[in-house]
Amino acid sequence: MNVIKTNIEGVLIFEPKVFNDARGYFFESFSQREFDEKVAPILGHTIRFVQDNESMSSYGVMRGLHFQRPPFTQSKLVRCVKGAVLDVAVDIRKGSPTFGQHVAVELTGDNRRQFFISKGFAHGFAVLSETAVFQYKCDEFYHPEADGGISIMDQSLGINWKIPTDQALLSEKDTKHQMLANFDSPFNINTNLYIESETR
């Protein structure tokens, strides 16, 4: 697995080693051992994923920008197993030098890239293909009472979602999230976001 650092600390891109032959292909989509060896030194802590999720969406669907509030904050490892999505992480940590900035990466069933998003980021994606199957691992269970979000249509974020706005399909919940300018973030760059989850 090749680990690629991005311009925002806590956001990484993974490229797996793929073995191709006449029968097809094989690759390890996740190895806890390799994750600990290669990623934990970069992050400064270990990650233990506890929940896997999968969604299927059609072209133009936009999901996000989601996060869970403390003490149920989540890190995510996401990938697109079929089709193509534009995946985005937005830094919403108070005091961060990159607050409000984002990293965007195209994840496809062909490039097999994965995207790691630390706690303290809002996450979302837009479907660029006719359909897309999207999978992600979380290091905290889903807690609906901790749901939070930033508007995926907030133009101040400067995200090029690569789909026409008039073709975007959002859930009712995702149309009601706040703009970043009106958002009081529960995350702080000077707070160890892993204290609660590691001691529970």
pLDDT, tens digit (0-9, with 9 covering 90-100), for 141-155: 999 999 999 999 999
- Does 112 fall in a domain? yes
DSSP single-letter state for residue 118:
-
Backbone conformation region of residue 154, classed left if phi is above 0, alpha if psi is from -120 to 50, else beta: beta
Neighbours of 94 (CB within 10 A): 14
Asked if residue 195 has pLDDT above 80, the reply is: no
Q: Report the alpha-carbon distance of residue 39 to residue 65 in Å, rounded.
A: 24
Range of the domain at 183: 50-199
Average pLDDT over residues 116-126: 97
The domain that contains 178 carries what CATH number? Answer: 2.60.120.10
Q: Element (H or E) spanning 40, and its range?
A: helix 40-43
Check residues 118 and 166 and name the one with the higher pLDDT: 118
- Does 121 fall in a domain? yes
* 177 catalytic per annotation: no
* 59 catalytic per annotation: no
- Does 60 fall in a domain? yes
**pLDDT tens track for 56-110:** 999 999 999 999 999 999 999 999 999 999 999 999 999 999 999 999 999 999 9
- Inter-residue contact 150 to 178 (CB < 8 Å): yes
Asked if residue 197 has pLDDT above 60, the reply is: no
Q: Please report, to the nearest 10 degrees, the dihedral formed by the alpha carbons of residues 91, 96, 101, 106 taken in order.
A: -50
- Does 20 fall in a domain? no
Return the ∠ at Cα 114 (arms to 109 and 120), rounded to 5°. Answer: 140
What is the structure's pLDDT at 165? 85
Q: Structure tokens of 75?
A: 């890190």
Q: Report the alpha-carbon distance of residue 144 to residue 1 in Å, rounded.
A: 33
DSSP single-letter state for residue 160:
-
What is the structure's pLDDT at 191? 72
Catalytic residue chosen out of the listed positions 45, 59, 102, 136: 136
Neighbours of 131 (CB within 10 A): 13
- Does 21 fall in a domain? no
Catalytic residue chosen out of the listed positions 66, 102, 123, 177: 66
pLDDT band at 196 (very low <50, low <70, confident <90, very high): very low
Q: Report the alpha-carbon distance of residue 195 to residue 51 in Å, rounded.
A: 19
Neighbours of 180 (CB within 10 A): 18
What is the structure's pLDDT at 187? 94
- Does 8 fall in a domain? no
- Does 28 fall in a domain? no
- Does 186 fall in a domain? yes
Count of domains in the chain? 1
